[in-house]
Amino acid sequence: MTGSAERAWHVGEYDLLAWAETAVKAVAFAIAYVAFVQALGRSLHSPNGIHVAELVLLGIAELGLLAAISDRLAEREAIAMGFVCFNNTAHLGMLYALLAVPGPGGLVSLFCGLMLAGEAVKLVWLEENQVTMRGLSTLALQALVGGYALIYAVALVVWQFLR
């Protein structure tokens, strides 16, 4: 081997908070998949007004999740890799549903609310376990997760109050 040994794929150890985050977000993913399936066969529209804001918010989240795939590949942790793939698929499905006529309705609020709840659990998990990753401090990781929480919170406000 060269200077850096390649890590083998493995399954990490997860505590109750990590599994709680996974469970909450898994329900959000299921909701996104339902929205996507409902949108199949519907006509698509060019977004305007508030629809653009919804697409931009979830699109930003999706871009970050696409970047997370390379991190999960480097870590070689099987559950995290599967999770990020399901997470990406859910976001892409919800983006598609937002382009359909009619859109996902209240499913987008449920999705964003559950994703926000999952991020809140993750923030507590990061704090309790003082997690660091690839030279990033716990505070830096909390800022990243907080950014996602903000995206979902703003999306909820857009959906609930600006429609």
In a domain, 27, yes or no: yes
pLDDT band at 5 (very low <50, low <70, confident <90, very high): low
How confident is the model at residue 119, as a pLDDT? 98
In a domain, 141, yes or no: yes
Structural domain tally of the chain? 1
How confident is the model at residue 135, as a pLDDT? 85
In a domain, 62, yes or no: yes
The pLDDT tens digits of the residues spanning 12-62 come to 889 999 999 999 999 999 999 999 999 999 999 988 778 889 899 999 999
In a domain, 5, yes or no: no
In a domain, 10, yes or no: no
In a domain, 66, yes or no: yes
Query: Coil, strand, or helix at residue 12?
Result: coil
Question: What domain range includes position 37?
Answer: 16-161
Q: How far apart are CA 117 and CA 22, in angstroms?
A: 11
- pLDDT of 160 higher than 90: no
Cα–Cα distances (Å) from 76 to 29, 39, 47, 71, 112, in that order, read: 22, 34, 38, 9, 28
In a domain, 136, yes or no: yes
Confirm whether pTM is higher than 0.85: yes
- pLDDT of 114 higher than 60: yes
Share of the chain above pLDDT 90, in %: 78
The values of phi and psi at residue 137, to 5°, are: -75, 165
CB atoms within 10 A of CB 12: 11
Size (the chain), residues: 163
The pLDDT tens digits of the residues spanning 89-98 come to 999 999 999 9
pLDDT band at 1 (very low <50, low <70, confident <90, very high): very low
In a domain, 1, yes or no: no
- pLDDT of 86 higher than 50: yes
The values of phi and psi at residue 24, to 5°, are: -65, -45
